[in-house]
């Protein structure tokens, strides 16, 4: 039951990162809520209370938490994070969520964001999608690059 509640709580942080309203002076900032949740999860991992996770999954969660804590260190609010830091935080929370949910489909459905350069410019664009969509795009690009570029003597009967 505790794992289910934790999984539900971990599903909420990516939404909080994506749709974070301006914090109210009387309420805690959502970044602090996320940091507190991750500290509680770390305490559960350290205390051995996350028995549903394999040692490999625990290591992945710890690594993602380390990335999360590094990105949020010294920051008081979500607005203080740069775009790259927000992407790191979002990706780390998604990795943690996928491991805690502990299924292959949750891993494929895990949302990830990345920054890439727009061809012909120096501008960067943020792209987001599921891991499955990212894998399909990468494979499509690889297939395109592996196609023959020059038509030889035996080129389609020409």
* The Cα angle at residue 53 between residues 34 and 15, in degrees rounded to 5: 30
As a whole number, the mean pLDDT across the chain is: 77
Q: Is the pLDDT score of 122 beyond 80? A: yes
pLDDT at 126 over 70: yes
Both tokens of 26, joined, read 């009387």
Give the pLDDT band of residue 15 (cuts 50, 70, 90). Answer: very low
Q: What is the pLDDT of residue 115?
A: 83
pLDDT of residue 83: 92
Report the percentage of the chain scoring pLDDT > 90.
Answer: 27
**pLDDT surpassing 70 at residue 62:** yes
Segment 96-108 shows an average pLDDT of 74
pLDDT band of 103, cuts 50, 70, 90: low
pLDDT higher than threshold 70 for residue 8: no
Beta carbons of 42 and 34 less than 8 angstroms apart? no
Kindly indicate the confidence band of residue 140, based on its pLDDT and cuts at 50, 70 and 90: confident
**pLDDT higher than 60, residue 150:** yes
Taking the C-alpha atoms of residue 137 and residue 114, their distance in angstroms, rounded to an integer, is 13
Closest CA to 14 of 73, 66, 64: 64
């Amino acid at each position: 039951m505790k794992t289910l509640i934790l999984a539900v709580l971990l599903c909420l942080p990516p939404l909080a990162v994506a749709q974070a309203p301006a914090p109210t002076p009387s309420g805690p900032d959502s970044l602090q809520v996320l940091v507190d949740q991750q500290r509680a999860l770390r305490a559960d991992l350290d205390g051995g209370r996350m028995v549903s996770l394999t040692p490999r999954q625990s290591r992945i969660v710890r690594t993602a938490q380390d990335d999360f804590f590094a990105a949020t260190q010294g920051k008081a609010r979500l607005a203080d994070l740069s775009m790259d830091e927000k992407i790191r935080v979002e990706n780390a929370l998604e990795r943690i969520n996928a491991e805690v949910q502990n299924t292959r489909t949750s891993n494929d459905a895990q949302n990830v964001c990345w920054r890439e350069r727009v061809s012909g410019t120096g501008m960067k664009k943020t792209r987001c999608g599921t891991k499955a969509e990212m894998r399909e795009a990468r494979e499509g690009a690889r297939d395109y690059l592996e196609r023959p570029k020059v038509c030889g003597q035996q080129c389609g009967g020409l």
